[in-house]
Structure 1
Amino acid sequence: MAVVDKPSAREAKRLQTRERLMGAAIAEFKRSGIAEADVGAIVAAAGVAHGTFFFHFPTKQHVLLELERREEERIAKQLGRYADSKRSLPEILAEAVRLVLGLERRLGAVLFKDFLALHFSQHRPADESNEHPVIVRVAQEIERAQQAGRVAADVSPMNSAVFFLLGLYALLTTTHDWPTQSAMLDDYVARTLRGIEAR
């Protein structure tokens, strides 16, 4: 059995402060949106000094990057568990849509729009990670279907996963209040599958 070192008291306190700031920032973003969010309100809610926010997060966008990292990891794990129960590619893509819609409900419309806008921002803070776990998991499932002969041999699983998720995010950003959104998402999944299936 491996021994896991416990963080020092100082490190534990730093992590607690970071989590309080993260929670307060997310609550403020849900209320006001990231552009209008007040760092003063965030630090007051977290019970820390003003400069403490910038010690943990250089900008408000860095909070959103951290939220994005956590949510992508969570969705990728849930999607992986679902896919590992021997689901078909159509079921897996539909589940990916369901999980992202669940994220929208949890974050609320204002924060979700900011969350998705970060993907398309030219001013996105540098992200050291080149891996997006949801894209990677969807690509793995497309590749698995390809190996089973259900996806065309000339399809790039990674490119297809990127196209699928970016298209999904764009649809969710632009059709939030449309009464036809659900049918449109079903059609989007069906057309994605038609575009990559083996003939």
Structure 2
Amino acid sequence: MTGLRDAKKARVREALYEAALEQFRASGYEDASIADICKAAGVAKGTFFNHFPTKSHILADWYDQAMQSADLRSSATPDQTLLDALLLVAHNAVTLAGLDPVLWRAKHAYAPQSDDIQRTERETDDRVHTRITARIRAAQEHGEVRADVEADALSALYVSTVTGVIRQWLNTGESFDLKDTLEDRIRTILKLANA
């Protein structure tokens, strides 16, 4: 019986999640009401709070799932240069922003007000940082990066550059070519560390 109850609960949660994302896309995050989300999901309004404390939790879940998917697409191959690996990670973030710009902008706009979104951003940045640090160390072993360069610091610079450029792009109304700007900044970072 517990298995059926858990399965039903998971289906309701997924219905609320999908309905919320559709409402965010159609009406905007701010204007999407919990009542409309529940109506679209076919559940009573109070049911929402059994699954999500706030709307921002849904946005945080979306961002986490999207970035984990981007992480999977960023897996390094043995013959890949460090530059190619760093560009691929940045390209996947740019692609994500372009695929769902309404949700991406909402996540950016409401992050300062949401501990849950901020936590998810930190966890995402930490995952990328760990992976890139390992990739930089491997590049040092192959002579791509100077041995005296601190891999952890270079990785932190990379992560802050990518997130900073994306924020700048959003804050300026997407007024410049994000992909080209990221590529230029990443190349500049690597020039500082090249053997």
TM bucket (normalised to shorter chain) is: 0.7 to 0.9
Matches within 5 A, 1:161-176: 161-174=158-171
Name the counterpart of 1:72: 67
The equivalent position to 1:90 in structure 2, one of 83, 90, 115, is: 83
Please give the residue correspondences for 1:97-176 in structure 2 after superposition, counting only pairs within 5 Å.
97-107=90-100, 109-117=101-109, 121=112, 123-125=114-116, 127=119, 131-132=123-124, 133-152=127-146, 153-155=148-150, 156-174=153-171
Change in Cα spacing, 1:193 to 1:72, as seen in structure 2 (3 Å) is same
Distance 1:175 1:147, change over 3 A: farther
Q: 1:128 to 1:24 in 2, by over 3 A?
A: closer
User: Are the counterparts in 2 of residues 97 and 168 from structure 1 also a CA contact under 8 Å?
Assistant: no
Of Structure 1 and Structure 2, the greater helix share is in: 2
Letter in 2 for 1:194: K
Question: Which residue matches 1:9?
Answer: 4
Question: Shift of the alpha carbon at 1:49?
Answer: 0.9
Summarize deviations over 1:148-189 as a string: whole Å, max 9, x none: 332343332442343233224324423554354443232122
Give the secondary structure class of the aligned counterpart of 1:8. helix
1:59 Cα offset (Å): 0.7
Give 1:4's aligned residue: none
What stretches of structure 2 of length at least 5 have no aligned partner?
A: none
Distance in 2 separating the partners of 1:175 and 1:149 = 38
What secondary structure does 1:23 align onto? helix
2:172 and 2:120 map into 1 onto residues whose CA distance is 31
- CA–CA separation in structure 2 for the residues paired with 1:66 and 1:166: 19
> Is this contact kept in 1: 2:16–2:41, CA < 8 A?
yes
Q: Quote the offset at 1:60 in angstroms.
A: 0.8
Question: Share of identical aligned residues, percent?
Answer: 27
Q: Partners in 2 of 1:148 and 1:18 — Cα distance? A: 47
How far did residue 129 of structure 1 move?
Answer: 9.6
Which runs of no fewer than 5 residues in structure 1 stay unpaired? 1-6
Q: Letter of the 2:99 partner, please give it.
A: R
- Which range is displaced more, 88-97 or 57-66? 88-97
Shift of 1:55: 1.1
One-letter amino acid of the structure 1 residue matched with residue 32 of structure 2:
A
Count residues in correspondence.
Answer: 188
The TM-score, its normalising length taken from structure 2, stands at 0.81
Determine the structure 1 residue equivalent to 2:46.
Answer: 51
Shift of 1:111: 1.4
User: What's the TM-score, normalizing by structure 1?
Assistant: 0.80
**Are positions 1:19 and 2:14 aligned together?**
yes
For residues 162 and 42 of structure 1, do their structure 2 counterparts lie closer, same or farther at Cα, with a shift above 3 Å needed? same
8 Å CA contact 1:136, 1:161 repeated in 2: no
User: Structure 1 residues 187 and 174, CA, compared in 2 at 3 Å: closer, same or farther?
Assistant: farther
Q: Contact conserved, 2:169 with 2:175, CA < 8 A, in 1?
A: no
